[in-house]
A and B are shown apart, each in its own frame.
Chain A
Amino acid sequence: MKQKFTVFDAINYLLFILITIACIYPFYYVVIYSISNPELASKVVLLPKGFSLQTYKTLFSLNNIVGAFGISVARTFLGTALTVVCTSFLAYLVTKQEMFARKFVYRFFVITMYINAGLIPWYLTMRAYGLKDNFLLYILPTAVPAYYMILIKTYMESLPISMEESARIDGAGYFRIFRSIIFPLCKPIVATIAIYAAVAQWSNWTDNYFLVNDENLQTMQMILYNYINQAQNVANVSSQTMADTANAVKITPMAIKMCITVIATVPIMCVYPFLQKHFVKGIMMGAVKG
Chain B
Amino acid sequence: MNMKKRMKRLTALFLSIAMAVSMLAGCGSKDEAKKDVGKNTEKQEEGKESSGDGEVEITFWDKDTLETGPQNTTIADAIAEKTGVRLNVINGDAQKFKVLLAGGDLPGIVNSNYGDLGVDAQALLQSGQLIALDDLIEEHAPNIKEKFADAIEYSKEFLSNDGKLYYLPIQINKATDTKVVDRSGANLALYTRYDLYKEIGSPEIKSTDDYLEALKAMQDAEPETENGNKTYAISGWSDWGLWMWTIPYQAMSGVTNWSYGMCYDMVNKEPLATYYSEPFWNCMEFYNKAYNMGILDPEIFTQKYDNYMDKLKNGQTFVTYANWLYNTANDVYAAAGTPEKGFEIVPTGLDYMYGAYDGDKPFGWAQDYPLALTKNCEDPVKAIEMIDYLFSEEGARLLNSGVEGVHWEVVDGVPQMTKEYRDGVASNATYAQSEGFAYTKLSGLSSSQILSDGYPASLLKAAEEVKKSCTKIDEIFIADSGVADAQYPGQVIESKIASGEYKLSTEVDLTPNLIKEPSDETKNLSAQVDEYVKVGVTDVIMSDPKDFDAKKDAFIQSVEDKGYADVVKEMEGIWSEAQKTVKEFADK
What residues of chain A have their CB less than 8 Å away from a CB belonging to chain B? 63, 74, 78, 81-82, 85, 119-120, 123-124, 127, 132-136, 139, 179-180, 209-210, 213-217, 226, 230, 234, 237-248
Contact: A209 with B92, CB < 8 Å? yes
Is B336 interfacial (CB 8 A cutoff)?
yes
Residue B103 interfacial (CB < 8 Å): yes
**Inter-chain contact B183/A240, CB cutoff 8 Å:** yes
Select A214's contact among B25, B28, B98, B433, beta carbons within 8 Å: B28
> Per a CB cutoff under 8 Å, which of A123, A179, A215, A244 touches B335?
A244
Contact call A119/B25, Cβ cutoff below 8 A? no
Q: How far is the CA of A78 from the CA of B23 in the complex (A)?
A: 12
CB–CB B103/A78 < 8 A? no
Binds A, one of B156-164, B323-331, B361-369: B323-331
Contact yes or no, B331 A242, CB < 8 A? yes
9 A-B pairs whose Cβ atoms sit less than 8 Å apart in the complex: A85-B14, A120-B102, A124-B102, A234-B433, A237-B324, A239-B425, A240-B331, A242-B332, A243-B469
**With known contacts A234-B430, A241-B425, A245-B429, A120–B103 Cβ distance under 8 A:** yes
Q: Which residues of chain B (412-455) have a CB below 8 Å from chain A?
A: 422, 425-430, 432-433
**B335 & A245 in contact (Cβ 8 Å cutoff):** yes
Q: Could you tell me if B103 and A216 are in contact, using CB atoms closer than 8 angstroms?
A: no
- Cα-based distance from A48 to B31 in the complex (angstroms): 42
Cβ-defined partner of B27 (8 Å) among A216, A230, A237:
A216
Residues of A contacting B102 with CB < 8 Å? Answer: 120, 123-124
Given contacts A217-B27, A238-B328, 15 further A-B contacts (CB under 8 A): A63-B67, A74-B24, A85-B14, A120-B99, A134-B25, A179-B6, A180-B3, A210-B100, A213-B69, A239-B429, A242-B331, A242-B332, A243-B334, A244-B426, A245-B429
Report how far A215 CA is from B24 CA in the complex, Å: 14
List the B side residues contacting A230 at CB < 8 Å: 66, 430
Name the one of B28, B331, B428, B432 contacting A216, with C-beta atoms under 8 angstroms. Answer: B28
- The answer to whether A210 and B96 have CB atoms under 8 Å apart is yes
- B residues sitting closer than 8 Å to A (CB atoms) are 3, 6-7, 10, 13-14, 17, 20-21, 24-25, 27-28, 31-32, 35, 66-69, 90, 92, 95-96, 98-100, 102-103, 105, 183, 324-325, 327-328, 331-332, 334-336, 422, 425-430, 432-433, 460, 469
Write out the residue numbers on chain A whose beta carbons fall within 8 Å of the beta carbon of B433. Answer: 234
Q: For B96, give its contact among A81, A209, A238 (CB under 8 Å).
A: A209
The 10 closest A-B pairs by CB, nearest first: A243-B331, A135-B24, A244-B426, A238-B328, A120-B102, A216-B31, A242-B331, A214-B28, A238-B324, A246-B335
Contact assessment for A242 and B426 in the assembled complex, using a CB-CB cutoff below 8 Å: no
Residues B427 and A247 in contact, CB atoms below 8 Å apart: yes
**Complex: how many Å from CA A237 to CA B10?**
56
For residue A238, which residues in chain B have a CB less than 8 angstroms away from its CB? 324-325, 327-328
Q: Are A179 and B68 CB-contacts (below 8 A) given A136-B25, A243-B331?
A: no
Distance in angstroms from B335 CB to nearest chain A CB is: 4
Please report the C-alpha to C-alpha distance between residue A264 and residue B482 in the assembled complex, in whole angstroms: 59
Q: Which residue of A lies closest to B21 (CB)?
A: A78
Determine the chain B residues whose CB is within 8 A of the CB of A217 once the complex forms: 27-28
Residues of chain B within 8 A of A240, CB atoms compared: 183, 327, 331, 460, 469
Assess the B92–A179 pair: CB atoms within 8 A: no
Tell me, in angstroms, the Cα distance from A180 to B92 when the chains sit together. Answer: 48
A221 to B478, CA, bound (A): 51
Interchain nearest-CB distance for B534 vs A (Å): 21
Interface of B is mostly: helix
The answer to whether B331 touches A234, judged by C-beta atoms less than 8 angstroms apart, is no
| B residues less than 8 Å from A248 (CB atoms) | 426-429
CB contacts (< 8 Å) of A85 on chain B: these are 14
Contact A119-B95, Cβ < 8 Å, known A135-B28, A214-B32: yes
Bound-state CA distance A244–B469 (Å) is 11
Q: Is the CB of B460 within 8 A of A124?
A: no
Return the contact of B429 from the options A136, A179, A215, A234 (Cβ within 8 A). Answer: A234
Residues of A within 8 A of B27 (CB): 135, 216-217
CB proximity of A161 to chain B, nearest CB, Å: 22
Instruction: Give which listed residue, B6, B21, B31, contacts A139 with CB less than 8 A.
Output: B21
Contact A239 B432 (CB under 8 A): yes
B residues less than 8 Å from A245 (CB atoms): 332, 335, 429
Task: Find A82's partner among B17, B90, B335, B336 (CB 8 Å cutoff).
Answer: B17
Contacts of B17 in A (CB 8 A): 78, 81-82
Q: Which residues of A contact B425 (CB under 8 A)?
A: 239, 241, 244
- Residues of chain A with a CB closer than 8 A to B422's CB: 241
**Min CB–CB distance B386 → chain A (angstroms):** 20
Residues of A within 8 A of B35 (CB): 216
Separation in Å of the B94 CB from the closest CB of chain A?
Answer: 12
B residues less than 8 Å from A243 (CB atoms): 331-332, 334-335, 469
Taking the nearest CB of chain A, how far is it from the CB of B12, in angstroms? 13
Q: Within the assembled complex, what's the spacing in Å between the Cα atoms of A209 and B429?
A: 26
Could you tell me the distance between the alpha carbons of A127 and B331 in the complex, rounded to whole angstroms? 50
Whether the Cβ atoms of B24 and A123 lie closer than 8 Å is no
Find B427's partner among A123, A242, A244 (CB 8 Å cutoff).
A244
**B20: contacting residue among A78, A134, A234, CB under 8 A:** A78
Query: Which of chain A's residues has its CB closest to B22's CB?
Result: A136
From known contacts A74-B20, A241-B426, infer whether A119 and B99 are also in contact, taking CB-CB under 8 Å. Answer: yes
Contact residues in A for B328 (Cβ distance below 8 Å): 238, 242
- Residues of B within 8 Å of A74, CB to CB, are 20, 24
Query: Taking each of B98, B327, B460, which has the highest tally of chain A beta carbons within 10 Å of its own beta carbon?
Result: B327
B428 to chain A, nearest CB (A): 7
Q: How far is the CB of B37 from chain A (nearest CB, A)?
A: 14
Query: In the complex, what residues of B have CB within 8 A of residue A244's CB?
Result: 335, 425-427
Nearest chain A residue, comparing its CB with the CB of B64: A233
* CB closest residue in chain B, given A243: B331
Chain B: CB-nearest residue to A82: B17
Q: Which residues of chain A come closer than 8 Å to B103, judged between CB atoms?
A: 120, 123-124, 127
Report whether B327 and A135 are in contact in the complex, using a CB–CB cutoff of 8 Å. no
Compute how far the CA of A272 lies from the CA of B331 in the bound complex, rounded to whole angstroms. 50
Q: Looking across the interface, which residue of chain B has its beta carbon closest to that of A214?
A: B28
Kindly state the separation between the CA atoms of A175 and B394 in the bound complex, as whole angstroms.
71
Tell me, in angstroms, the Cα distance from A180 to B2 when the chains sit together: 10
Q: Which residue of A lies closest to B99 (CB)?
A: A123
B323 to chain A, nearest CB (A): 9
How distant is the Cα of A78 from the Cα of B433 in the complex, in angstroms? 37
In the complex, A248→B335 CA distance in Å? Answer: 12
- A263 CB to closest chain B CB (Å) equals 19
Given A120-B99, A209-B92, A134 contacting B28 (CB threshold 8 A): yes
In the assembled complex, which residues on chain A have CB atoms less than 8 Å from the CB atom of B332? 242-243, 245
A242–B327 contact, CB under 8 A?
yes
Are A226 and B24 in contact, CB atoms less than 8 angstroms apart? no
Neighbouring B residues of A78 by C-beta, 8 Å? 17, 20-21, 24
